A and B are shown apart, each in its own frame.
Chain A
Amino acid sequence: DTAVSQTPKYLVTQMGNDKSIKCEQNLGHDTMYWYKQDSKKFLKIMFSYNNKELIINETVPNRFSPKSPDKAHLNLHINSLELGDSAVYFCASSQDKEQPQHFGDGTRLSIL
């Protein structure tokens, strides 16, 4: 009965590959997010998605694209992976965009 679940938990891949991370929430929330936590443990928001309205953080390369098939899912697709993409990616959800966020346990992405 995990509230926010991400798959896979670990992802090891080669530079230049394309990969996706899946996120599902069973809380009935309207808003979902993707965060990147780098090696210094700094959490930085990448995207938020509220009722099919996508808010893009302009510092995120366009190799990153969120896709939301429905309100309970927000997947992250990354094209042409680079060494600097190595990080832990967290998915989160909230009742609406001003309520506290509930986080998944992260996907650790390592680029070889």
Chain B
Amino acid sequence: EDQVTQSPEALRLQEGESSSLNCSYTVSGLRGLFWYRQDPGKGPEFLFTLYSAGEEKEKERLKATLTKKESFLHITAPKPEDSATYLCAVQAGNYGQNFVFGPGTRLSVLP
């Protein structure tokens, strides 16, 4: 069965304090790994897609990386507006028919 776990469950950072979020996955036939951001009362907002080990994507203070078993979302010098829940999702299966979200990491950035 395809599984996705994320750690830590919650993370509190001071503004400017860089850190990383982890997404570990066990799937059969990875088609893609997605990172989303979800604000309270809103739907997830797409951030990145990674398709193969070694791939990296960057957007402002965020950088996502992928290995064969996990992905990291690195946050450099975070600001309070980066506070949100960050969700990792994988698409797997021969036809990409399996789509599984992780439980998320709740990030709080304090001013």
In the bound complex, do residue A40 and residue B96 qualify as a contact, i.e. CB atoms below 8 Å apart? no
Q: A-side interface residues toward B, CB under 8 Å?
A: 4, 33, 40-45, 48, 55, 90, 92, 97-98, 100-106
Please report whether the interface of chain B is mostly helix, strand, loop or mixed according to DSSP.
Answer: strand
Q: How far is the CA of A104 from the CA of B97 in the complex (A)?
A: 21
Please give, as numbers and ranges, the residues of chain B lying within 8 Å of A4 by CB-CB distance: 43
Please give, as numbers and ranges, the residues of chain B lying within 8 Å of A42 by CB-CB distance: 101, 103
The smallest beta-carbon distance between B89 and chain A, in angstroms, is: 8
8 A-B contacts (beta carbon < 8 Å): A40-B103, A42-B101, A42-B103, A48-B99, A97-B97, A98-B91, A106-B41, A106-B42
The smallest beta-carbon distance between A109 and chain B, in angstroms, is: 15
- Per-residue CB contact flags for chain B residues 83-110 toward chain A (1 = under 8 Å, else 0) read 0010101010000110111011000000
Residue of B nearest to A44 (CB): B101
